[in-house]
Structure 1
Amino acid sequence: MSTNRNRPLTLLSLGHACVDVYQGAVAALVPFFVSERAYTYAAASGIVLAASLLSSVVQPLFGALTDRWPMPWLLPLSALTGGTGVALCGVGGSYTLTLAAVAVSGIGVAAYHPEAARAARAASGSGNTGMGWFSLGGNVGFAAAPLLVAAVVATGGLRASPLLVVPALVGAALCAAAVRSSRNGVGTARTTKASGTDDWPSFLRLTGAIVCRSIVFVGLSAFISLYVRQRTGGGEVAGTAALFVLYGGGALGTVAGGRLADRYGRVAVVRRSYVVTVLAVAGVVLVPGPAVFLFVALASAGLYVPFSLHVTLGQDYLPRRVGTASGVTLGLTVSVGGLATPGIGALADATSLQTALLPLIALPALGRLLLAGLREPASPTPAPVAPRRPATQV
């Protein structure tokens, strides 16, 4: 019984891992664009911007649509779209076509997250741990991205990028299986009417804090590989290892965040995580030599511990608009950090990469100020749902 009940959440978590490979893959491809195509920092960060821009614009739209109509068919379709865009970004040498390909991938990722987060919350109930496992799936995908990209592109060059479509095919199959499980009544992912009042002021303050987190995370994602190469002299291996540490910390951080929140409360854990992030990013930017890897790991923990808590807090601040809250907290504010990367890249071209990363120290401090005074919201109480009739045996 328990296994059947958890099946949709398990499938959604695994599918989330496959889809979020493509959020991590764009940043992981940046060093290869710089080395193979001689892009400047600004041009390379423009690719991250292209992946983020359309995603940031359309994500709330998909969230609002899923509030009105369940759209489970979006899950496999968006997985395929996200993977196809990244798979095509290395084909040909045109900068414009590369931008278009990663933009298509960004739209696919944008379409996936609101519906997937809504379905995962319905499948996991109101606990923090279930959403933690769903978020863990995405973070595992992030962590796997630099290893996958390095294995494919370092061996065959950017022209081998079509091989990167494989996780999308697997993810689409997993999402389709999750949809079938829901239709069979096992852990239904249908939206239910929730009681409560939408708290927009608290939600907007939370959103501002997550935007600060997003800029730090995407900025580090785009440039940590190149930066660690410079700081340690370790070459391509050191850069890939640093990006893997940044993403890989999410595996422990996300699950730990759910468990810490069950013990100390979500808001308290989120606030402390932002304080840790300030110190960790300062270490990444300012401490020389191999010790940078320790601070990258600490930054990863500070950035990832509140990740799933952002989502459930947003959903509970807007209990009547769970899809919108999911689209913003899980999608928009993850991708919006890409909007700042061209500025970081331009500053790096004009000065140095270290100087360009210095502003990232202040952003989690600003996020912590925005979180001051937030109260723990009550979990929404779903309206009773009529039991499903058992299927007739033939």
Structure 2
Amino acid sequence: MVTESKKKIYSSIGGHFLVDLYSPFLPIILPVLITNMNLSFFLAGFMVTAYNVTSSLVQPVAGLFSDRTGKKVPIWICVLLSSAGISLAVLTNNYLLMLALVSGAALGNALFHPAAMESVYRLSPIEKRGIFNSIFTTSGSISYSIGPLIAGVMITFFGLSSIAWLVIPGILGAVWIYSVDKKFNTLVSAHYERKKPVSKQKKERYWWVPAGLVVFLCSLRAWTYVGIITYLPALLMLGQHGMDTITTSLIVTIMLFIGVAGQIAGGYLSDRYGRKNMLVFGFAAAVPFFCLIFLSQGWLMYSGIFMYSFFACFCYVTSVTMMQELLPESVGFASGLTLGLCVGVGGIGAAIIGWAADNMGSLPDAMFLMIIPTALSPILALFIRYPDQRRIRGRDADLPE
């Protein structure tokens, strides 16, 4: 039984790697589509908007539906949708069909995250939820980092249509996940069935204020982190730093991988020292490194970029696990909010920074405005009413392990 449970956790982690591998393909193939199909920038950008909006908004809805009904789309179908939608979109010259395929991929992405993360949460030992959540999110972060490189190499050497061949890993992964689900027999499924609803008193205490504050903090973190990722290349290349494309790409890649290390550290340390303690620590540690990005040069600036990424991602896994433990009977909804909606809000925040840069006439000054949500986060985190780990373990002691 334990072996089958671990296999299901690993299949969710592997599925996350595949789903997030395909999601960054779209920005790489768009320039070629603009040329080949003579698309306007609006139509090209609308595809990205459709993907992001669909993915961000459907995730919490899908999670809430699963929590209320116990029904969810099998994650192998989600992996198949995500891989096929993006990979096969390059084979058509019909814009509406392409938009439908991209939206289908976004739907697969959105349905996958709350379903897979709920499985990881339910099947993980209580004392190791943080580290398993960090492994889950890390698998997606790694594939998201290498996805653009894979797509770029394929297009450069084999042409745009070669992207269609990348559907094969998705198909193989879906078959593997299906086989794992099939072996996860009725006995194991019954052992890990959803526990009985918590009392009304607990729901009232742990829903509106603490969970809402965690979602707000996740959104603030996403705003600054997405904003840094979005505009850092332009800051380094077009500003006073004058870096070339290769150097800038290398810096961003290193930044993303150091963020992966932060996710692992955040999950592990939050298991040992408490979620709230590590959340406050991570948010507070990010503030000085954020300032270094804009107030220093050379290695100090690089240190600021890399260590800001580390602590921003450190907070990410911790906040996701906190949200799940605050809403133990709505894990799918909690996961959909933190993995989907908050990231979508972050994208909106990045657009606001771009608007501010246009009006201020200075990208660095506009980006530095993100010091406000960065500095506000550790202060607000202090006010989260969150039980200590011993109390949570006692509350969840009747859950199957």
Please give the TM-score of this superposition, normalised by the length of structure 1: 0.82
Hey, what's the Cα distance between the residues in 2 that align with 1:323 and 1:313?
A: 13
The yes-or-no answer on 1:212 pairing with 2:220 is: yes
What's the offset of the Cα at 1:83? Answer: 2.6
Which residue identity lines up with residue 216 of structure 2 in the other structure? G
**1:230-269 mapped onto 2 (5 Å cutoff):** 230=238, 232-269=241-278
**1:225-304 mapped onto 2 (5 Å cutoff):** 225-230=233-238, 232-289=241-298, 292-304=301-313
Distance 1:355 1:52, change over 3 A: farther
Aligned mate of 1:317, from 319, 326, 347 = 326
What's the offset of the Cα at 1:102? Answer: 4.5
Hey, what's the Cα distance between the residues in 2 that align with 1:181 and 1:223?
A: 46
- Identify the range of structure 1 (267-276 vs 138-147) with the bigger mean alpha-carbon deviation: 138-147
Distance 1:272 1:146, change over 3 A: farther
- Identify the range of structure 1 (43-52 vs 61-70) with the bigger mean alpha-carbon deviation: 43-52
Distance 1:367 1:147, change over 3 A: same
- Report the aligned-residue RMSD: 3.6
Contact 2:67/2:333 (8 A) holds in 1: yes
The yes-or-no answer on 1:192 pairing with 2:201 is: no
Larger Rg computed on CA atoms: 2
**CA offset digits 1:139-168 (Å, max 9, x no partner):** 222232233233234445655543443453
Contiguous gaps of at least 5 residues in structure 1: 388-394
Which residue identity lines up with residue 191 of structure 1 in the other structure? R
**1:357-368 mapped onto 2 (5 Å cutoff):** 357-368=367-378
Q: How many residues align?
A: 386
Aligned mate of 2:381, from 371, 380, 386 = 371
- Identify the range of structure 1 (237-246 vs 255-264) with the bigger mean alpha-carbon deviation: 237-246
**1:1-394 mapped onto 2 (5 Å cutoff):** 3-26=3-26, 48-71=48-71, 73-87=73-87, 102-127=102-127, 128-156=130-158, 160-183=162-185, 185=187, 190-193=193-196, 195=198, 197-198=202-203, 199-200=206-207, 201-230=209-238, 232-289=241-298, 292-348=301-357, 351-377=361-387, 378-379=391-392, 380-381=395-396, 383=398
Which residue identity lines up with residue 203 of structure 1 in the other structure? A
In the other structure, the counterpart of 1:392 is none
Hey, what's the Cα distance between the residues in 2 that align with 1:44 and 1:287?
A: 37
Hey, what's the Cα distance between the residues in 2 that align with 1:54 and 1:310?
A: 23
Hey, what's the Cα distance between the residues in 1 that align with 2:39 and 2:371?
A: 26
Hey, what's the Cα distance between the residues in 2 that align with 1:206 and 1:17?
A: 25
What's the offset of the Cα at 1:25? Answer: 4.2
Hey, what's the Cα distance between the residues in 1 that align with 2:147 and 2:312?
A: 18
Hey, what's the Cα distance between the residues in 2 that align with 1:352 and 1:33?
A: 31
Distance 1:23 1:302, change over 3 A: farther
Hey, what's the Cα distance between the residues in 2 that align with 1:258 and 1:106?
A: 27
What's the offset of the Cα at 1:84? Answer: 3.3
Hey, what's the Cα distance between the residues in 1 that align with 2:312 and 2:54?
A: 24
Distance 1:61 1:73, change over 3 A: closer
**CA offset digits 1:84-125 (Å, max 9, x no partner):** 343356667898877665444332211111111111111113
| SS of residue in 2 equivalent to 1:305 | helix
Contiguous gaps of at least 5 residues in structure 2: none
Contact 2:66/2:72 (8 A) holds in 1: no
